[in-house]
Amino acid sequence: MKILVVEDDRKTADYISRGLSEAGHVCDVIRDGTDALFQATREHYDVLIVDRMIPGLDGLSLVKAARAAKVETPAIFLTSMSGVEDRVEGLEAGGDDYLTKPFAFSELLARLNALARRPPVQDRKTVLRIADLELDVIKRQVSRQGTPIDLQPREFTLLEVLMRAEGRVLTRTMLLERVWDFHFDPKTSVVETHISRLRTKIDKPFDVQLVHTVRNTGYCMHAPR
């Protein structure tokens, strides 16, 4: 994998870079958030590893700006900010995972490998439809009854996962794994919050509900029956 490490602490950056190189990966290190944003939009990377407290553009703003620029490269926050709200902020900003310092390099490597196992977009359907709702994976566009719907990157991913599983129930754990690539419970309401926001945008303005809660189980998307 080609990985961009955004870390201003030289000792930590060298440790990560050396470990990734020994594991067979190509690694670029940048210590300033503004420079990192330019690099992330100019070069192709398989994963971004981002510290939150960096000079220039902070890590949170960096990932938000990258998502706004349509950079969909998976991003892992690697930071000493370990509070629940800190983790929620990271996920809400468009991060795919959140690892706190101090950390075990073996865990970081395992999370990188988990992100790499995601199936490439080109191997799957690129236009999804359920009833009058349409999602175009390539164009990153969503519409219902021909009306464009503006979604944040994580909302878009959540909707795509739900639509690909049309008619099947997805548990909270399954959504954490498929949307956030979490293989543990972060002890937050991030799934419920995103489901609520998604419903506000794709269901509430229209007559027919497509996102359904299956009590004590999870969520399911299907057309009217």
Q: How far apart are CA 159 and CA 56, in angstroms?
A: 33
| pLDDT of amino acid 19 | 92
Q: Which part of the chain has CATH 3.40.50.2300?
A: 2-116
Average pLDDT over every residue of 159-185: 86
Query: Could you read off the pLDDT of 91-135 as tens digits, one per residue?
Result: 888 888 899 998 999 999 998 888 776 655 444 578 999 999 999
Q: Which part of the chain has CATH 1.10.10.10?
A: 121-221
Q: How far apart are CA 223 and CA 225, in angstroms?
A: 6
Pick the CATH number of 2-116 from 3.40.50.10420, 3.80.10.10, 3.30.565.10, 3.40.50.2300: 3.40.50.2300
- The type of residue at 10 is R
Scan for tokens 């998307």, then name that residue: 221
Of 7-16, 76-85, 121-130, 157-166, least confident by mean pLDDT is 121-130
Q: So what CATH class is 121-221?
A: mainly alpha
Q: How far apart are CA 49 and CA 95, in angstroms?
A: 10
Q: How far apart are CA 95 and CA 30, in angstroms?
A: 18
